[in-house]
Amino acid sequence: MPQYRSVFRDETKLDISYVPHKLPHRDRELRLLNEFFSFILQFPGKMAQRVMITGDVGTGKTVLSQRFGADITHEANKLGINLRYIHVNCREYRGSLFLVLHHTVSVFHPTFPRRGYSAEELLRILLQVLDQENAYVILTLDEFESLVEREGTEAVYKLTRLQEIRQNRPQRLSLICILRNLRVIERLDVSTRSTLQSNVIRLDKYSKEQIIDILRDRVFLAFKPLTVSEDTVSLIAELAFSEGGNARFGIELLWRAGKYADAEDLSTVTPECVRKAVSSVIPAVRKSELDSLGFHERLLLLGIARLFKEGQEAYISLVEAEQVYTVVCEEYDTQPHSHTQLWKYLQTLSAVGIVKTEVSGTGSRGRSTLIYLPRIPARDLEKELSELLGKREA
């Protein structure tokens, strides 16, 4: 039996639950979180904190909070402070304050009964448990929208005004609320909103260059040396950037592309593996879109597909596309169209999402128009186009 070969060194480093030690391009936000909660290490029990983290999908909200939680509990442990970081996804708990609080109490008492208590009683029990154990909790409410949408002002008010019923006693529960858009908070009354919005950390979308840095870190952790090229990383980053700067999507694509490489017993993760991976996540080009193309648009696209199928590059230049288009025209016994006309064809192909273009910076290729296939494997595209052109010939 042949020995199994894998491009992976440790694919768990690409899992959604993995929290890396470094967070590229989130250093400032991590420092800000540490600053907001520094009192816990200096003066435990003297105050509580409420912080909101907001940003689009894939901007690193969850991993930022989890990295902070791991770091601050490590520092607290060195100082002899009993601090727990508890991360709860409100959507997983159906937006129920009762279920969120039951989970939190269960961290300290795993067999705590699920029936017989209201959410308000669970809140009081949690505080009693923290007093008894001289413990402090940073409770992170991920997908906070779910809690607001289901339970509204009352539930959030109970959490944020918790300390008012504990005059002259240690403040033991702090909150981090993670949500995509602050507009959700407008559903709450003015008093509750004011207690939440004092400390807001906004995460901007990642640029393509920032996503490349994130992917490079994960490649180093997850893959064997020299199995993932810079071209492959750049293509994945381009696709993740086109999905709203979604780094999480990019990391998932990287993992899927690695699995395709292993399935085909390849020694490297090629751009074609990436295209197969993305077509398994996002619907590939529909046949109707290919049907709508003109004859010479199909010829140009066929040439592009062949170049990508035969090579390991993630990008080709417009000059290379023109050259292969000329060859395909000879094959189909037709006269090639002009450079200007080809440029228009390329714009059409880009508009329907079959190919994408970008202008390269200065470098080995100079400054030129680069073309890449974003969402369909070159082999599949060549097959579809050959069949369409064959029907025309018939």
For the chain, list the domains and their CATH numbers: 27-203 (3.40.50.300), 207-281 (1.10.8.60), 287-393 (1.10.10.10)
Read out DSSP for 292-321? TS-HHHHHHHHHHHHHHHHS--S-EEHHHH
> Measured between alpha carbons, how far is residue 271 from residues 144, 212, 257, 304, 372 in Å?
37, 15, 8, 14, 10
Q: Which residues pair with 317 in a beta bridge?
A: 370
**Contact in structure between 134 and 172 (CB atoms under 8 Å):** no
Q: In what order do the strands lie in the sheet with 135-142?
A: 82-89, 135-142, 173-179, 50-55, 200-203
Task: Locate 172 and state its tokens.
Answer: 């033991």
For residue 192, how many other CB atoms are within 10 A of its CB?
Answer: 22
Distance from the first to the final alpha carbon of the chain: 47
Model pTM score: 0.82
pLDDT for the residue 282: 62
pLDDT tens, residue order, the chain (394 aa): 455 689 999 999 999 899 999 999 999 999 999 999 999 999 999 988 999 999 999 999 999 999 999 999 999 999 999 999 999 999 889 899 999 999 999 999 999 998 889 998 999 999 999 999 999 999 999 999 999 988 888 888 888 877 667 777 899 999 999 999 888 888 888 878 877 777 999 999 999 999 999 999 999 999 999 999 999 999 999 999 988 899 999 999 999 999 999 999 999 999 999 999 988 776 556 666 788 888 999 999 999 999 998 888 889 999 999 999 999 999 999 999 999 999 999 988 888 788 988 887 644 445 688 999 887 889 888 988 998 888 665 4
Contacts of 354 (CB under 8 A, 6+ apart): 285, 289, 290, 301, 373, 376, 381
